Amino acid sequence: MSGVGTSLRGMVNPSPPRTVAQKMGIKAGARAHLRDAPASAVAAMELPELELLAELTGEFDYLHLFVTTQERMREHFGALRDRLRPGGALWVSWPKGGKLGSDLTIKSVIAIGYERNLVESTCLEIDEVWSGLKFTHPKPGKRYANSYGRFPARRAEPAPARLGDARRRVVTTRRRAGKCRVQCFPP
């Protein structure tokens, strides 16, 4: 019985490899705008059918900026960010390893994104020349800590209460009311 206890893994048809666009999460019918996209990179992504617009009007589900310099990224990132709908993605692509004379690295791309109030998530290879990094709007209330980038300074918030103080408030509130009716710990 040579077949007993063997894996079926090799016998089942493997699923086809996912396209770059599928890895990026690009859905058919998405409202999209591509800025300075080389034809070879667009072909490599194998994009689904999109509502592809040349003008930046309204909000977009998918925006993609191809840049070779930090200056150019800073120049265009804000305008694209302003058109990104909640839940949408702004992808930035730059030449890997300084190809095409690029001064961009993943660290500088993240830093510029944070300077403009977006957060990064997924990084992937578009093709043999271009890398891509996904930016989204930050989630309200979530703290983001990245050693490569920081959000611009905001108004100073009051310092959170010390943990001991919060515990004392919980105990006091429970004794008076029988149970805690208010959130006693700082968010």
Average pLDDT over residues 9-35: 89
C-alpha span between 78 and 58 (Å, rounded): 15
Query: For the segment 98-123, what is each residue's pLDDT rounded down to a tens digit?
Result: 999 999 999 999 999 999 999 999 99
- pLDDT at position 158 is 44
Closest C-alpha to 130, from 74, 72, 66: 66
For the chain, the domains span 20-136, 155-187
Average pLDDT over residues 156-177: 42
Residue 157 has pLDDT above 60, yes or no: no
- pLDDT at position 14 is 80
Give Dmax (Cα) for the chain. 74
- pLDDT at position 133 is 98
Of the two residues 23 and 159, the one the predictor is more confident about is 23
Torsion of CA 120, 47, 94, 33, to 10 degrees: -80
User: Could you tell me the pTM of the whole model?
Assistant: 0.73
**What would the CATH number be for the domain defined by 20-136?**
3.40.50.150
| Predicted confidence band of residue 172 (pLDDT cuts 50, 70, 90) | very low
Q: Please state at what angle helix 70-81 crosses helix 106-115, rounded to 10 degrees.
A: 40
